[in-house]
């Protein structure tokens, strides 16, 4: 895999994931300093964290549409440029309102990344390589979250938090320069791609005939399998965004770590989580190979991973020391990322290819509502109670509820009576 020119494509996508999560995690790392300077309480910081996902969720859909219309090369470059500008604009903020505006526009810019990655991979990789290419590309996101802490923490302490955001902006524009040089929308448009590689990629991009029954989009959106898979992904994102936005502040305010100590400590969960992200797809395929049961293999990894995350994240709220909190949260993020590929696998296994995009968009929308809710609820709970314990317990409880729902309600979609008649008449 990854021979010839397309290895450069997946490298650029991997680096985009790194930058994406560096920029996204930067505010969380700098939050203790910013909240003190602007005199923001926990509830106000929760709103700042949440508002990002309003723009982000909306432009998941819009970004995908534009990538289909104008190609992923331009859309991805504009998106990276837009979010980098507003990442840097954070340095110009002077109060709650100005920070709110920059954060929502930053979310607008980051919205197209998921669809941009998928569209680029769809254009550049043969069918048999796409899943692995997606996995490698998104593996950059936990790495970005990990290295954001030491970079932002060091720069903020040495030169001020505003300089940290300007540094991240420069990194984004450097990536754009390489992206425009390295990438075209299709392999046949690039002069450095051989005819043999073009033939390999484009000759193998005919999807296998879909064996699932074609039905209207509205039908799928009402099915318990889709709805409860969406609920489980909502719980996944709730825990992930709770960790992304509030864990650094938890370590500094509840566990009394300094900014430099927190910057080092938050690296650990991201790196251990990346092990789960890489391992999840492999584990699902291994179980399927051993059992021959497709949905069982998906549900076993999803339920086991989500339950593991729920328990360890809930216990983190009762940890007595910073070390135990970091260890428990690291295990929680590892369990959580273990499930990362299973939600989309279940959708693709049960939904006809003509409706996969719409159903996936619906699931993605519901999941990112949790990004709006989780930071705000956490901030409000901390403001009212003066501690983080309840917020951790709520995140864990949601994971348990979602796991039980998957066990009970996520089942293979039944064929209609018409399809049964057609199947019987053809035998």
Instruction: Give the DSSP letter string of 222-235.
Output: T-HHHHHHHHHHHH
Q: What is the dihedral of CA 415, 416, 422, 425, to 10 degrees?
A: 90
What are 249-260's pLDDT values in tens digits? 888 888 888 878
Question: Which span out of 6-20, 51-65, 252-266, 289-303 was modeled with the highest average pLDDT?
Answer: 6-20
Give the Cβ contact number of residue 135 at 10 Å. Answer: 17
Residues 6+ away with beta carbon under 8 Å from 286: none
CA 281 vs. chain centroid, Å, equals: 15
Query: What confidence score (pLDDT) does residue 424 get?
Result: 44
What are 119-172's pLDDT values in tens digits? 787 778 776 666 567 667 777 888 888 888 788 888 888 888 899 999 999 999
Q: What would the mean pLDDT of 209-235 be, rounded to a whole number?
A: 77
More confidently predicted of 82 and 290: 82
Task: Report how far residue 427's alpha carbon sits from residue 424's, in angstroms, rounded to the nearest whole number.
Answer: 5
Asked if the model's pLDDT at residue 401 lies above 90, the reply is: yes
193-203: string of b/e by CB count within 10 Å (b at 16+)?
A: beeebbebbee
Task: Report how far residue 47's alpha carbon sits from residue 29's, in angstroms, rounded to the nearest whole number.
Answer: 16
Residues 6+ away with beta carbon under 8 Å from 56: 107, 108, 110, 111, 368, 371
Residues 6+ away with beta carbon under 8 Å from 365: 57, 60, 61
User: Mean of the per-residue pLDDT values for the chain?
Assistant: 82
Query: What confidence score (pLDDT) does residue 136 get?
Result: 76
Query: What confidence score (pLDDT) does residue 242 get?
Result: 87
Asked if the model's pLDDT at residue 102 lies above 70, the reply is: yes
More confidently predicted of 245 and 418: 245
Q: In terms of pTM, does the model score above 0.75?
A: no
| Across 40-44, 54-58, 205-209, 400-404, least confident range | 205-209
Query: What confidence score (pLDDT) does residue 207 get?
Result: 45
Asked if the model's pLDDT at residue 72 lies above 60, the reply is: yes
Query: What confidence score (pLDDT) does residue 358 get?
Result: 64
More confidently predicted of 157 and 179: 179
Query: What confidence score (pLDDT) does residue 2 get?
Result: 47
Nearest Cα neighbor of 115 from 347, 357, 277 is 357
Asked if the model's pLDDT at residue 210 lies above 80, the reply is: no
Query: What confidence score (pLDDT) does residue 199 get?
Result: 81
CB-CB contact of 229 with 356 (8 Å): no
């Amino acid at each position: 895999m990854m021979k010839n020119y397309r290895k450069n494509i997946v490298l650029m996508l991997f680096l985009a994931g790194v930058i994406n999560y560096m920029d996204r995690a930067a505010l969380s790392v700098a939050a203790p300093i910013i909240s003190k300077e602007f005199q923001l309480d926990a509830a106000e910081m929760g709103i700042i964290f949440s508002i990002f996902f309003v723009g982000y969720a909306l432009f998941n859909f819009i970004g995908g549409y534009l990538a289909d219309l104008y190609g992923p090369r331009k859309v991805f470059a504009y998106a990276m440029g837009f979010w980098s500008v507003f990442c840097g604009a954070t340095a110009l903020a002077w109060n709650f309102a100005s920070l709110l505006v920059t954060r929502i526009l930053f979310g607008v810019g980051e919205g197209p990344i998921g669809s941009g990655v998928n569209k680029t991979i769809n254009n550049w990789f043969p069918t048999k390589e796409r899943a692995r290419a997606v996995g490698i590309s998104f593996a950059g996101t936990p790495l970005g979250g990990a290295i954001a802490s030491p970079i932002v923490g060091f720069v903020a302490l040495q030169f001020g938090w505003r300089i940290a955001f300007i540094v991240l902006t420069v990194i984004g524009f450097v990536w754009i320069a390489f992206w425009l040089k390295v990438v075209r929308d299709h392999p046949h448009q690039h002069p450095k791609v051989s005819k043999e590689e073009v033939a390999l990629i484009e000759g193998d991009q005919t999807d296998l005939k879909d064996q699932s029954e074609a039905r209207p989009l509205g039908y799928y959106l009402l099915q318990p399998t889709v709805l409860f898979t969406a609920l489980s992904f909502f719980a996944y994102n709730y825990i992930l965004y709770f960790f992304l936005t509030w864990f650094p502040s938890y370590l500094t305010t509840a566990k009394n770590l300094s900014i430099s100590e927190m910057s080092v400590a938050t690296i650990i969960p991201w790196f251990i989580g990346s092990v789960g992200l890489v391992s999840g797809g492999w584990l699902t395929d291994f179980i399927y190979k051993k059992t021959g049961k497709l949905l069982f293999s998906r549900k076993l990894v999803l339920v086991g991973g989500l339950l593991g995350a729920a328990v360890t994240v809930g216990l983190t709220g009762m940890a007595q020391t910073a070390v135990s909190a970091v260890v428990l949260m690291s295990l929680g993020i590892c369990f959580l990322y273990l499930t990362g590929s299973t939600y989309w696998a279940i959708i693709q296994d049960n939904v006809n290819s003509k409706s996969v995009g719409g159903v996936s968009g619906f699931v993605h929308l519901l999941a990112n509502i949790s990004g709006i809710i989780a930071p705000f609820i956490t901030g409000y709970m901390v403001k009212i109670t003066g501690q983080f314990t309840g917020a951790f317990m709520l995140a864990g409880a949601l994971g348990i509820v979602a796991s039980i729902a998957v066990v009970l309600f996520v089942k293979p979609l039944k064929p209609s009576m018409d399809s049964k008649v057609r199947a019987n008449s053809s035998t």
